[in-house]
């Protein structure tokens, strides 16, 4: 199970990256607006520098041609860009085209360009020019996931908590898609999204999600337990006592 942060706040990404457990970041237009980002490219490049892992960046249009233009532009910002596209007919068209077009991560104007080890690593594997990966977002059925995979998506993002919010159960959707991937021997990955609490995280892992993308607050909750804190306090107190003897 891989943990991604679902946020555009750099301080949150920095904190969780410092734990060594962060394997990617997903952003969306809501996160970008909330964080008050003016220069999206510079901000995404800063995230790339911080996390050195896949970063999903979402298009902001409902037109297929514009999705392709925006997505291919994102892909030039960093070799870690994953183009996030909505799972609607226009999104499928854009997925098909983007995943069949090459784009070069030129990293133009990145503040860390000079001597960047991330860029050098991709360059040494000849991977700065590639067909961009796609994350198909806003998935609520297994059929939508299958269509996205057929259109070339590498990642599918079912929104678990939003199904729960309308009185459905989001977890069986994760299990269904995981089973389909296994039966069909498809290499696509499930990013369980819109998770609302730690129990969701355990449940999607058991249901077969490859990745959970989580808010900073939920990620912090995952490590917390009162008995851990209590146990640590008593160990430290006992150690201090024994030092003084």
CA distance 156 to 148: 7
- In whole angstroms, the minimum distance from the beta carbon of 115 to ligand E4P comes to 32
- In whole angstroms, the minimum distance from the beta carbon of 208 to ligand E4P comes to 18
Which C-beta is closer to ligand E4P: that of 197 or that of 225?
A: 197
Nearest to 6 by CA among 177, 199, 117, 160: 160
- In whole angstroms, the minimum distance from the beta carbon of 132 to ligand E4P comes to 17
Which C-beta is closer to ligand E4P: that of 24 or that of 79?
A: 24
| Catalytic-residue membership of 84 | yes
CA distance 116 to 240: 45
- Catalytic entry in 84, 93, 189, 206: 84
Which C-beta is closer to ligand E4P: that of 82 or that of 128?
A: 82
- In whole angstroms, the minimum distance from the beta carbon of 243 to ligand E4P comes to 47
Please report, as ranges, the residues that interact with ligand E4P according to CB under 6 A: 6, 26, 28, 30, 137, 157, 159, 161-162, 193-194, 213
Which C-beta is closer to ligand E4P: that of 30 or that of 102?
A: 30
Contacts of 55 (CB under 8 A, 6+ apart): 24, 25, 26, 27, 44, 47, 48, 78, 80, 81, 82
Residues with a known catalytic role:
84
């Amino acid at each position: 199970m891989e943990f991604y942060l679902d946020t555009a706040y750099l301080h949150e990404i920095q904190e969780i990256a410092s734990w060594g457990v962060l394997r990617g970041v997903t952003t969306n237009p809501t996160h970008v607006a909330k964080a008050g980002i003016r220069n999206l490219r510079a901000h995404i490049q800063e995230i790339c520098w911080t996390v050195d892992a896949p970063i999903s960046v979402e298009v902001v249009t409902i037109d297929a041609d514009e999705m392709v233009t925006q997505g291919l532009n994102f892909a030039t910002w960093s070799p870690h860009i994953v183009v996030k596209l909505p799972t609607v007919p226009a999104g499928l068209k854009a997925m098909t085209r983007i995943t069949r077009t090459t784009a070069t991560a030129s990293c133009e104007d990145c503040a860390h360009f000079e001597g960047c080890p991330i860029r050098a690593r991709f360059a040494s594997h000849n991977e700065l020019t590639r067909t961009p990966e796609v994350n198909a977002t806003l998935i609520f059925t297994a059929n939508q996931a299958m269509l996205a995979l057929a259109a070339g998506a590498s990642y599918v993002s079912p929104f678990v908590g939003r199904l729960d919010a309308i009185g459905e159960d989001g977890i069986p959707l994760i299990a269904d898609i995981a089973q389909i991937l296994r039966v069909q021997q498809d290499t696509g990955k499930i990013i369980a999204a819109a998770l609302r609490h730690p129990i969701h995280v355990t449940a999607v892992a058991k249901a077969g999600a490859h990745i959970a993308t989580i808010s900073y607050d939920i990620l912090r909750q995952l490590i917390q337990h009162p008995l851990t804190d209590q146990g640590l306090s008593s160990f430290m107190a006992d150690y201090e006592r024994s030092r003084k003897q």
